Amino acid sequence: MKKHHEMFANAIPLIASENVCSPAVREAIITDLAHRYAEGVAGSRVYAGCEFIDKIELKCIELAKKYWRAGFADVRAISGVVANLIVYTGLTKPGDKMMAMPIPQGGHISHNRTAINVHGLKVDFFEFNEEEMNLDIDRSIKKLKEYKPKLVLFGASVFLFPHPVKEISEAAKEVGAYTMYDGAHVAGLIGSGYFQQPLEEGSDVFTLSTHKTFPGPQHGSVLAIEDEELNKKLRLAAFPALLSNHHLHNVAGLAITLTEMLKFGKEYHGQVIKNAKALAQALHERGFEVLAEKKGFTESHTLVADISKLSETIGWGDKVEQVLEQAGIILNRNLIPKDIKEKRSYKTPSGIRLGTSEVTRLGMKESEMDYIAELIERICIKQQDIKSVKQLVKEFRKDFQEVKYCFKSKTQAYQYINIH
Ligand SMILES: Cc1ncc(COP(=O)(O)O)c(C=O)c1O
């Protein structure tokens, strides 16, 4: 464990689905709450000992509704996948049809395998426009009207630009479908007023992870418009259908992160997006083929690059990921749209995905993005000695050891906490 902490304290963390929570949140998640059960909802529990747990959960719900501007919030889902499963369970029956994002174009595995294998849904996919790196509105609406799904799911794991929620939701309502938006990746951007507002644009439900752009503990939530019948279905799907223990320490951590983001989120998430654009531009200028150049690369925390050109020198995405990791630069390989045509698998894709949520939380700004691009160039294009680049990474990280955009603390971002 100590070695893991040391590794991250000396690395550049660029995984788009990860972040680091504040010391105050780390304190919450090692409290006694981690030992407790509170089945049910506040005020109507199946367990004793919940007096303060109820207060924490009600506060968390109040803050979640405020931050995400939602009429309904259930903060019990223990992860983003479980949040999605709660919606599938509450709003559909096995055998119903769902429409979602195709996986190679950025859809998440829970939109496919989880929906099919766990809840027995039939899934078909939206049409995708590779140039735009977004859903093709007209072709998707045409397909939706023919397919007549019961549930329409927006959102993705490679989420560069806002989805056309308004246009497609109108068509979904015409065929009597519920709409949901998986904002696992972009939840923080949305809460802080960037990207898009799914519940205002026509989505009935908004699911999320609380640890990607939203920098909280690993957990999930289900938000929705205020609608008694819909809200009841979601609540009952959470418990008694899918949850027993709902990780109360993380509910407390989530409440603290919501307080932090209501205060610091505007500034933090604005910088996350500026950093993603700056990193994309800096990589582009160094010869990397960053996708969606014509659209300014990204409107979120994520950017994706096609690294096919490196296949003769370094290898495909797996090898690029590996050499960068050896130098302390941590990102992940990713399928990109052209991989389907070229029959490349997720093991050796021609893309890499980078995210700026965590490096921004450590206080980095545009000039640091430029230096990170230079370090990536040193490894991937100039093929410099890995050990010497790793040393540069370590030096660079010395000035970025605190979690920013939160209440002040002496504890550093990756400090190992001894309790004895
Ligand atoms: C779009 C999307 N939904 C759901 C998830 C799963 O979230 P969790 O890991 O919180 O279950 C992810 C994970 O990266 C994701 O990208």
Cα separations in angstroms, 220 against 80, 187, 251, 307, 364:
5, 10, 9, 33, 27
What value does the mean pLDDT of the chain take?
97
pLDDT tens, 30-70?
A: 999 999 999 999 999 999 999 999 999 999 999 999 999 99
pLDDT tens, 281-302?
A: 999 999 999 999 999 999 999 9
Instruction: Return the residue whose CA atom lies nearest to atom 14 of ligand 1.
Output: 17
Gap between the Cα atoms of 191 and 67, Å rounded: 5
Q: Which residues contact 3 (CB under 8 A, 6 or more apart)?
A: none
Cα separations in angstroms, 276 against 16, 119, 281:
10, 36, 9
Domain ranges of the chain: 2-19+266-397, 23-258
Instruction: Return the residue whose CA atom lies nearest to atom 4 of ligand 1.
Output: 80
Gap between the Cα atoms of 216 and 268, Å rounded: 13
pLDDT at 301: 98
pLDDT at 103 over 90: no
pTM value surpassing 0.75: yes
Gap between the Cα atoms of 212 and 186, Å rounded: 8
Average pLDDT over residues 380-393: 98
92 lines ligand 1 (CB under 6 A): no
Q: Which residues contact 136 (CB under 8 A, 6 or more apart)?
A: 126, 127, 128, 129
Question: Of all atoms in ligand 1, which is nearest to the CA of residue 209?
Answer: 10
Gap between the Cα atoms of 286 and 398, Å rounded: 25
Pocket test residue of 19, 75, 87, 185 for ligand 1, highest count of atoms within 8 A of CB? 185
| DSSP result, 123-180 | EEE--EETTTTEE-HHHHHHHHHHH--SEEEE--SS--S---HHHHHHHHHHTT-EEE
pLDDT tens, 239-289?
A: 999 999 999 999 999 999 999 999 999 999 999 999 999 999 999 999 999
pLDDT at 101: 95
221 lines ligand 1 (CB under 6 A): no
Instruction: Specify the fold of 2-19+266-397.
Output: Aspartate Aminotransferase, domain 1 (3.90.1150)
pLDDT at 53: 98
2-19+266-397 against 23-258: fold identical: no
Cα-to-centroid distance, 398 and ligand 1 (Å): 31
Instruction: Specify the fold of 23-258.
Output: Aspartate Aminotransferase; domain 2 (3.40.640)
pLDDT at 420 over 90: no
